[in-house]
Amino acid sequence: MKSKLIILLLLLCGVLNAQSFQFGKKGGGASTDYGYGMCVDNSGNIYTAGCYKSNASFENVNVTSLGDFDIFIAKYNSAGSLLWFKSAGSSMKDEADKIFIGEDGNVYVGGTFQGVSHFDGITLTAGGVELGEDIFIAKLNPAGEYQWVKQYGGASQDFIVDMSMINNDVFITGQYYGTFTAEGGISLPPNGSSTAKFVMRVGADGTPVWAKNTGGYPYIATGTDKFYMAGIFGGTSNFDGVMLTSNGPADLFLGAYDLNGTQLWVKQFGGSGSENMRSLCFDRASNNIYWAGCFQNSMTMGSNNLTSTGQYDIFVSKFDVNGNNIWVKSAGGANYDFANATVVDAQGSVFVSGYCMETATFGNTNVVSSGQGDAYIAKYNSNGDFQWVKIGGGSGQDVGNCLRTDNAGNIFLTGFFSNSAVFGSINMTGYGSADYMLIKMGDLVGIHSPRETLSSFRLNQNYPNPFNPSTKISFDIVKAGAVKLTVSDINGKEVAELVNVSMNTGSYEVNFNAEKLSGGIYFYKLETANGTDTKKMILVK
């Protein structure tokens, strides 16, 4: 039986393009259940948010919704063990869409609710009409105890679109019918019979600081001294007095704002078809903006032009803080391919997720979905060079909704899967038509001193040796090409494949965890374009 691998590497220079799925968690019941939001704290704990319907199971927790969909908030440790689970809601439809960690270490959750909703001992009543909806923001401490829950909205329907944070202040975007109201004298006017869009800043105590109308359908990302909004708009839309008119049915916009909501600039991108985007993020280390979405026909961003190969293709793009496009990349095939999430890690690598149908091309790699659409995770470096793509799913529709990374370079995905799904060696069988999922993937990266000149291929002795349960295996590559690193038992049976990718010149180190193997003698073998070498190691148990 192949061992479970935990691969943690530090990047100094150079990249090893490989990855492994480490765990998969699920939740749900006979109905439909979705994961929408996620965040990871500095200790590697994972928080997720979404909704479930009817009877549902999340690990060892069984819950029953009060009516239609109910809210869930869950916390896992870095190994995937469920630490606590919260359910909230009413007899109507309620969902949690966004979740973030504040600088104070507390958890902030945003979503929508209907009717009379219960958050442990806190009760909120949505205003207005029978099917009226309001927005909520909830603050919980790391133990899952509510600190406060606040509602925002008027007498009709109010929806959250996106959420981000600076320090302990929450920034949300959304849309509403009628008049939007909130405590502190906040009141935004109606937009006739159509929805109006807004952005609002909320303080650490849940009290609104300010709110204002905006154009388009806005997603939001925060920097250190300003925030950015991006999204789609159709026809002519008003962005703080700047009128933009779409070239096709829908175009994209990107704008920058100071922390008081004053617009600094806004720009338009698009083409003759329709564009959509679902994710915006800001890399505070490099002061660059990233977004991801999908497009039809052709699309222009700055001096870069893209042409779709099918119905909708995926795009991911990088901008500087002045809205100048640095690069844009596309992926997809003849059918519908979408991007719902993007995130940047500490090394400036960009990860994108969503779902792809049938055959889709990412860089020079083709992937084929198993059914109606598979979830994918694709990686690009900071220059926009494609690194790798992994897909997972089954015969139904499987979708990635939110991506996050941790300090150790792991990647986390939440969303939903249908029926059954396979992610690498992880097999998940669902409870109903759609079930919540949480996937953890380890991303391998190399270590290489930029001052070191490598002159020969080398496989080093593992350290420590003997070991229990983990040891490090390091090697040098002097010629770029295919690299394979495997572990076999004394009978020659392969028990683990650690690396099987194309690698650049560099020095690399892999941490091998043999917790599920029996004690004894094992051999690790490195196969490269430079040569092949095998060494012995001893697992003591």
Q: Quick check: 8 pLDDT over 80?
A: no
Do residues 370 and 338 make contact, with C-beta atoms less than 8 angstroms apart? no
Structure tokens belonging to residue 489 = 């038992």
Distances (CA, A) of 87 to 30, 125, 366, 520: 18, 17, 40, 47
Query: Which residue's structure tokens are 């300010």?
Result: 210
DSSP 90: -
* Alpha carbons 314 and 336: distance in angstroms, whole number: 9
Q: Which position has the higher pLDDT, 124 or 248? A: 124
pLDDT, tens digit, 9 for 90 and up, residues 354-391 = 999 999 999 989 999 988 899 999 999 999 999 899 99
Q: What is the mean pLDDT of residues 237-251?
A: 94
Assess if residue 177 is contained within a domain: no
Of these ranges, 76-80, 259-263, 461-465, the one predicted with the greatest mean pLDDT is 259-263
Of these ranges, 7-11, 234-238, 445-449, the one predicted with the greatest mean pLDDT is 234-238
The DSSP string of 366-412 is: EEE-SSSBEEEEEEE-TT--EEEEEEEB-SSB-EEEEEEE-TTSEEE
Q: Quick check: 447 pLDDT over 50?
A: no
Assess if residue 444 is contained within a domain: no
Q: What is the mean pLDDT of residues 477-506?
A: 85
Q: What is the mean pLDDT of residues 46-52?
A: 98
Amino acid letter for position 319: F
Distances (CA, A) of 463 to 459, 511, 539: 12, 10, 11
* Alpha carbons 462 and 539: distance in angstroms, whole number: 11
pLDDT, tens digit, 9 for 90 and up, residues 94-137 = 999 999 999 999 999 999 999 999 999 999 999 865 667 999 99
| pLDDT of res. 408 | 79
Q: Quick check: 74 pLDDT over 90?
A: yes
Assess if residue 451 is contained within a domain: no
Number of domains in the chain: 1
| pLDDT of res. 132 | 79
The DSSP string of 332-356 is: EESSB-EEEEEEE-TTS-EEEEEEE
> Burial letters for 78-96: b for 16+ Cβ neighbours within 10 Å, e otherwise?
beeebeebbbbbbebbbbb
Return phi, psi of residue 93, to 5°: -95, 130
Q: What is the mean pLDDT of residues 244-254?
A: 94
DSSP 256: E
* Alpha carbons 228 and 11: distance in angstroms, whole number: 29
* Closest-CA residue to 357 (of 381, 378, 331, 382): 331
Distances (CA, A) of 20 to 143, 445, 516: 30, 12, 17
Q: Quick check: 9 pLDDT over 80?
A: no
DSSP 16: B
Q: What is the mean pLDDT of residues 1-30?
A: 56
Assess if residue 466 is contained within a domain: yes
- Apex 311 CA angle, 307 and 316, nearest 5: 55
Q: Classify 113 in phi/psi space as left (phi over 0), alpha (psi -120 to 50) or beta.
A: beta
Task: Provide the residue range defining the domain that includes 533.
Answer: 458-539
Assess if residue 43 is contained within a domain: no
Assess if residue 377 is contained within a domain: no
Q: Taking the CB of residue 373, how many other CB atoms lie within 10 A of it?
A: 24
Q: Which position has the higher pLDDT, 450 or 126? A: 126
Q: What is the mean pLDDT of the chain?
A: 90
Is 39 strand, coil or helix? strand
Beta bridge partners of residue 191, listed in sequence order: 194
Do residues 93 and 71 make contact, with C-beta atoms less than 8 angstroms apart? no
* Closest-CA residue to 143 (of 63, 65, 47): 47
| pLDDT of res. 346 | 84
The C-alpha torsion from 34 through 94 and 171 to 157, rounded to 10°, is: 130
> Burial letters for 175-211: b for 16+ Cβ neighbours within 10 Å, e otherwise?
bbbbebbbeeebebeeeeeebbbbbbbbebebebbeb
* Alpha carbons 290 and 173: distance in angstroms, whole number: 18
Assess if residue 85 is contained within a domain: no
* Alpha carbons 483 and 38: distance in angstroms, whole number: 34
Q: Which position has the higher pLDDT, 530 or 80? A: 80
Length of the chain: 541
Assess if residue 29 is contained within a domain: no
CA 47 distance to own-chain centroid: 12
SS3 string of 279-296? EEEEECCCCEEEEEEEEC
Confidence of residue 481 (pLDDT cuts 50, 70, 90): confident
We report the CATH number of the domain holding residue 508 as 2.60.40.2550
pLDDT, tens digit, 9 for 90 and up, residues 317-354 = 999 999 999 999 999 999 999 999 999 998 899 999 99
Confidence of residue 446 (pLDDT cuts 50, 70, 90): very low
Q: Quick check: 88 pLDDT over 70?
A: yes
| pLDDT of res. 477 | 85
Q: What is the mean pLDDT of residues 397-416?
A: 94
| pLDDT of res. 454 | 53
Helix (H) or strand (E) holding 71: strand 61-76
| pLDDT of res. 12 | 29
* Alpha carbons 534 and 526: distance in angstroms, whole number: 6
Q: What is the mean pLDDT of residues 43-70?
A: 96
